[in-house]
Amino acid sequence: MGDVTAQLAAIVGEANLLTGEAISDDYAHDEALSSPPQKPAYVAKPASAEEVAELLKAASTASVPVTARGSGSGLSAAARPLADGLVISFERMNAVLEIDVENHVAVVQPGVTLAELDERAAAAGLTYPVYPGELSATIGGTVGTNAGGMRAVKYGVTRNNVLGLQAVLPTGEIIRTGGRTSKVSTGYDLTQLIVGSEGTLALATEVIVKLHPRLPHGATVLAPFDDLDQVMAVVPKIVASGLAPHILEYIDNMTMAAMVYNEKLELGVPDAIRERSQAYLLVALENSDTGRLGEDVETLGGLLDELGALEVYVLEGGSARKLVEAREKAFWSAKAAGADDVVDVVVPRSAMPVFLAKARELALAAGGGVIGCGHAGDGNVHLAVFCKDPEARTNLLTGVFAYAMELGGAISGEHGLGRTKAKYYLKLEDPAKVELLRRIKSGFDPAGILNPGVLFG
Amino acid sequence: MGDVTAQLAAIVGEANLLTGEAISDDYAHDEALSSPPQKPAYVAKPASAEEVAELLKAASTASVPVTARGSGSGLSAAARPLADGLVISFERMNAVLEIDVENHVAVVQPGVTLAELDERAAAAGLTYPVYPGELSATIGGTVGTNAGGMRAVKYGVTRNNVLGLQAVLPTGEIIRTGGRTSKVSTGYDLTQLIVGSEGTLALATEVIVKLHPRLPHGATVLAPFDDLDQVMAVVPKIVASGLAPHILEYIDNMTMAAMVYNEKLELGVPDAIRERSQAYLLVALENSDTGRLGEDVETLGGLLDELGALEVYVLEGGSARKLVEAREKAFWSAKAAGADDVVDVVVPRSAMPVFLAKARELALAAGGGVIGCGHAGDGNVHLAVFCKDPEARTNLLTGVFAYAMELGGAISGEHGLGRTKAKYYLKLEDPAKVELLRRIKSGFDPAGILNPGVLFG
Ligand SMILES: Cc1cc2nc3c(=O)[nH]c(=O)nc-3n(C[C@H](O)[C@H](O)[C@H](O)COP(=O)(O)OP(=O)(O)OC[C@H]3O[C@@H](n4cnc5c(N)ncnc54)[C@H](O)[C@@H]3O)c2cc1C
Ligand SMILES: Cc1cc2nc3c(=O)[nH]c(=O)nc-3n(C[C@H](O)[C@H](O)[C@H](O)COP(=O)(O)OP(=O)(O)OC[C@H]3O[C@@H](n4cnc5c(N)ncnc54)[C@H](O)[C@@H]3O)c2cc1C
């Protein structure tokens, strides 16, 4: 152990290697609700791809399991280390290397946060549109989980916005995948294979992402409906309308109540409507032209009216921003309310009503409850699960995930499997497919040092 | 051999297995210019995933190399079989299984052609926007090559439009990947790994694709410029404008001349301008609203004017269609003109001018020439290469590809490596990366029966 410590310290420098008491509690967990914290044996903070390569070689030789860490804001415990493990924290590799305006591309180190990157892009009139609820998340972490967020309905998730990587293989080789181009048909797409692999295949040390024109004008519309089924029926119509909203969220009344309460929102929804409405639709539009934006808001309003909205509120700048922020923080509201888990099942858009009905039914039968909101345009349902008994909860979630898969969906749309959902995956997924994933994994990581326990249990 | 024949016939039925003279020349080649035809030993036409699985098991046992075939319109000889090989032709698996309007998704068998799918989507007011020059290409073949085409600048290439697959592994297992949802973070993305793998990892037996709203109004604009550099400088400006063209092509004057001649185009470009112009930009816009389309065409015209266009022609329906079709057929013009190869290098958009200058310089030095056109919005340069001497041509292409890679691009943007570009890839790519691809390959295909010679030489 002392030997390993000395080796690791020689690679990153004494000051950048933590062991024992020097390791703060932060490194012991991410934001997953259902995973106990675990401090690692080592935390190393490399400054370059070469240092990452040396760390991985040393870990390989000494059979030390390695967990990469961005900001630790993940929701599936994929950044939670093992007791004898090494955390590679990318906090020092946090430079925006280039904003390439002509190619609409940025080249960044993995420790850059989403907030920083978007700020830098904004200065060039561009945007990096991956907006999960937590903007302190790092680019490396979002590559790990394939993060989505509210704007994915228009701009896609992380995988749709990552063009290339520099990555270090667990065997120590530094490779480059993809490039500064939006298309490549030259060998297997390693970029897409590494995105979403939750730190189990390779560690990203540089990321090339796509930037988009930043549209200056936006409007946010809130529409209460009698029930969730109505909201769900409206979603495909809005998608088909060509209005191309960049936010298209449903929020159930319990979640809205928690958000209003926690964030002290003033939405101007009269009591009569609030009491009647079981679900809300939140839609945001953007445009480079205010005239067109106005027309589109009009069209949207008409559509919502026609499809049964109890009212259509075009929110003012301040309250719109607050509502969107409150939606981003819905996780904290759920946590504060005592939720036992948060899941982000994805199903085909049109299957959301049957899925939600079934999830509620299963929760009730388990003596618990589910409430939530979600990226309705993507069929991505975020449920706060209330069910204290661990066994009942496991059964409940097994039933919920199994039904989502039966409908043509998947266990997670954007949070990943990590440590907390792996057992469900292994139970419910086709064994032939899991075997194939294992063979891919060992093609990258023959010694199995990258994030053991994640994804494969 | 007789044994294998009997086995294969038992799987697909006598009528659907061809051997010897019954195999037509068609199965011996695709449209690659630089690969000699080769008839296979067997051609099987399965009707289901189960039959494909049985074929692969039999081929595995008998060590028969297998080449999947769609329409054979590929340009890199990836569908060219081996002499002792089995071609699995998907011509009988050609049903559109579902157009799912609510989810904007189609589920199709691999033998469906792009033309058929788009026609079926059109009936529902939707479109499948993958439009390579050859609409007789099949969905399976486009999954194989990760085909692009003119509309990729707006809608992305095949990988951006494929949501899920049913695929048969060379070991005979039938798996499902992805689903009817636009996002999944549940295990490695096998869909994206199989797309673009040129029939070397698994065979797609069902494909779930994304459909898009079909915008009813379109306009096509042609702008001649003094030289190519000017055209290239305009491209990022149009991309940044937010006009979101669905076609953004450059065409050099030699290629335009060949197109005008071969397709008898009447573009209304006066001789004086034609003689002066060295390069053209072709831009197409679409909208659901004619008013907005008109405004956008106006804006585009102003932009082109300002940026040095010699003229701006808004083409009438008929001549616009003919020009776009001629562009689609540019490959045939190049072939008719005696081109020795056609390549589709991709580089960062902004690097197109230096790349083209270097390619011309290298061609001149090799005693040959390059002319072309390309998906300028994607940095995807299609070059017809004229250079008779095989050795000089190999050197020329090595130089061209090496320079593209140096610029942050790749050998192929959408045609793939197949048999014709594999040798360059193996020479120029990082060996550590090629080794990793080989390990992935053997994770899927331990016996190495799927398309040997393709990609890995
Ligand atoms: C309030 C709140 C709201 C959220 N809302 C959303 C949402 O709407 N959508 C959404 O998708 N997520 C959401 N999340 C989850 C979270 O923000 C994302 O999972 C994010 O991607 C994690 O980034 P991170 O830097 O914190 O990564 P971490 O949690 O540190 O790590 C995540 C994974 O990435 C791996 N990893 C880290 N760095 C690298 C690297 N350089 N190379 C390879 N792998 C690496 C880790 O090993 C781990 O497997 C939310 C979280 C919170 C707390
Ligand atoms: C005039 C012309 C213009 C063209 N323009 C373009 C263009 O602009 N952009 C572009 O990208 N391409 C273009 N192409 C190339 C061609 O159309 C594409 O490569 C297309 O993807 C090939 O489809 P196919 O059905 O003909 O496939 P094939 O040529 O039969 O096969 C292509 C590859 O896919 C594999 N394959 C076939 N079926 C399956 C399956 N079910 N599962 C797994 N693998 C499979 C094959 O083994 C092979 O590796 C053009 C071709 C021509 C002739």
* Nearest-by-Cβ selection for A213 from B146, B242, B410: B242
pLDDT at A421: 97
| H or E stretch at A177 | strand A174-178
* Nearest-by-Cβ selection for B348 from A148, A181, A444: A181
Task: Indicate whether B318 pLDDT > 60.
Answer: yes
pLDDT in tens, B329-360: 999 989 998 999 999 999 999 999 999 999 99
Spatial distance between the Cα atoms of B267 and B255, rounded to a whole number of angstroms = 14
Q: Which atom of ligand 2 is nearest to the CA of B144?
A: 34
Spatial distance between the Cα atoms of A417 and B189, rounded to a whole number of angstroms = 13
Nearest to A244 by CA among A271, A215, A202: A215
Residue nearest to atom 43 of ligand 1 (CA): A203
pLDDT at A221: 97
For B282, list phi and psi in degrees, rounded to 5. -115, 120
Place of tokens 């004086």: B272
Q: Which of residues 183-242 of B touch A (CB under 8 A)?
A: 183-190, 192-193, 195-197, 201, 213, 215, 236, 239-242
Pocket of ligand 2 contains residue B415 by CB under 6 Å: yes
pLDDT in tens, B167-181: 999 999 999 999 999
Instruction: For residue B71, report the distance from its CA to the centre of ligand 2, in Å.
Output: 7
pLDDT at B57: 98
CA contacts within 13 A on the Cβ side of A66: 34
Residues in chain A where the model's pLDDT stays below 70: 1-2
Pocket of ligand 2 contains residue B149 by CB under 6 Å: yes
If DSSP codes are grouped into helix, strand and coil, which group holds residue A101? coil
Q: Helices (H), strands (E): how many in chain B?
A: 17, 18
* Residue partners of A370: CB distance under 8 A and separation at least 6: A359, A360, A363, A383, A384, A385, A386, A400
Mean pLDDT of B208-234: 95
Could you tell me whether strands B174-178 and B96-100 are parallel, antiparallel, or unpaired per DSSP bridges?
A: unpaired
Q: Count the neighbouring beta carbons within 10 Å of the beta carbon of residue A364.
A: 12
Closest CA–CA distance from residue A350 to any residue of chain B (Å): 6
CB contact under 8 A, B412 and A185: yes
Pocket of ligand 2 contains residue B286 by CB under 6 Å: no
Helical residues (DSSP H) of A241-308, grouped into ranges: 253-263, 271-276, 290-306
B177 at A interface, C-beta within 8 A: yes
Integer distance in angstroms from the first to the last C-alpha of chain B? 26
Nearest to B26 by CA among B34, B37, B14: B37
8 A C-beta contact, residue A88 and residue A140: no
If DSSP codes are grouped into helix, strand and coil, which group holds residue B421? coil
pLDDT in tens, B126-139: 999 999 999 999 99
pLDDT at B142: 98
pLDDT at A262: 87
Q: Which residues of A touch B192 (CB under 8 A)?
A: 159, 189, 192-193
Closest CA–CA distance from residue A385 to any residue of chain B (Å): 19
pLDDT in tens, B364-403: 999 999 999 999 999 999 999 999 999 999 999 999 999 9
CB contact under 8 A, B416 and A185: yes
Q: Which of residues 289-308 of B touch A (CB under 8 A)?
A: 292
Q: Which residues of B touch A240 (CB under 8 A)?
A: 104, 125, 213
Strand order in the sheet with B380-386: B313-315, B217-225, B279-287, B247-252, B369-375, B380-386, B341-346
pLDDT in tens, A180-222: 999 999 999 999 999 999 999 999 999 999 999 999 999 999 9
CATH of B96-213, one of 3.20.80.10, 2.40.30.10, 3.30.465.10, 3.30.230.70: 3.30.465.10
B130 at A interface, C-beta within 8 A: no
B430 at A interface, C-beta within 8 A: yes
A409 at B interface, C-beta within 8 A: yes
Which CATH class for the A2-91 domain? alpha beta
Instruction: For residue A277, report the distance from its CA to the centre of ligand 1, in Å.
Output: 33
* Nearest-by-Cβ selection for B187 from A190, A417, A439: A417
* Nearest-by-Cβ selection for A436 from B380, B429, B444: B444
**Start-end of CATH 3.30.465.10 domains in chain B:** 96-213
A170 at B interface, C-beta within 8 A: no
Nearest to B69 by CA among B96, B42, B105: B42
For A86, list phi and psi in degrees, rounded to 5. -115, 125
**Start-end of CATH 3.30.70.2190 domains in chain B:** 217-328
If DSSP codes are grouped into helix, strand and coil, which group holds residue A18? strand
Spatial distance between the Cα atoms of A411 and A75, rounded to a whole number of angstroms = 13
Spatial distance between the Cα atoms of B134 and B331, rounded to a whole number of angstroms = 10
pLDDT in tens, A296-337: 999 999 999 999 999 999 998 889 999 999 999 999 989 998
Task: Indicate whether B317 pLDDT > 90.
Answer: no
Q: Which residue of A has its CA nearest to B177?
A: A433
CA contacts within 13 A on the Cβ side of A136: 9
Instruction: For residue B74, report the distance from its CA to the centre of ligand 2, in Å.
Output: 4
Residue that wins the pLDDT comparison between B74 and B267: B74
* Whole-number Cα distances in Å, A111 to A88, A115, B45, B223: 11, 11, 51, 44
8 A C-beta contact, residue B83 and residue B150: no
CATH of A332-418, one of 3.30.70.2740, 3.40.50.300, 3.20.20.100, 1.10.3210.10: 3.30.70.2740
Q: Count the neighbouring beta carbons within 10 Å of the beta carbon of residue B268.
A: 11
pLDDT in tens, B425-456: 999 999 999 999 999 999 999 999 999 999 99
pLDDT in tens, A133-161: 999 999 999 999 999 999 999 999 999 99
Q: What is the ipTM of this complex?
A: 0.97
pLDDT at A266: 87
CB contact under 8 A, A183 and B378: yes
B432 at A interface, C-beta within 8 A: yes
Sign for the CA dihedral angle at A428, A430, A436, A440 comes to negative
Q: Show contacts of B254-257: CB within 8 Å, 24+ apart.
A: B254/B371, B255/B330, B255/B333, B255/B334, B255/B371, B255/B372, B255/B373, B255/B384, B256/B280, B256/B373
8 A C-beta contact, residue B293 and residue B217: yes
pLDDT at B266: 87
Instruction: For residue A133, report the distance from its CA to the centre of ligand 1, in Å.
Output: 10
CATH topology of domain A217-328: Alpha-Beta Plaits (3.30.70)
Q: Which residue of B has its CA nearest to A145?
A: B185
Instruction: For residue A199, report the distance from its CA to the centre of ligand 1, in Å.
Output: 11
Mean pLDDT of B193-203: 98
Spatial distance between the Cα atoms of A139 and A108, rounded to a whole number of angstroms = 8
Q: Which of residues 55-74 of B touch A (CB under 8 A)?
A: none
A447 at B interface, C-beta within 8 A: no
Q: pLDDT band at B119, cuts 50/70/90?
A: very high
Q: Which residue of A has its CA nearest to B435?
A: A443
Q: Which of residues 361-380 of A touch B (CB under 8 A)?
A: 378-380
DSSP state of A172: S
Interior CA angle at A28 toward A25 and A29, to 5°?
A: 110
Q: Which of residues 235-274 of B touch A (CB under 8 A)?
A: 236, 239-242
Q: Which residue of A has its CA nearest to B413?
A: A184
Task: Indicate whether B101 pLDDT > 90.
Answer: yes
Q: Which atom of ligand 1 is nearest to the CA of A113?
A: 25
pLDDT at B263: 87
Model confidence, pTM: 0.97
CB contact under 8 A, A186 and B411: yes
For A222, list phi and psi in degrees, rounded to 5. -120, 130
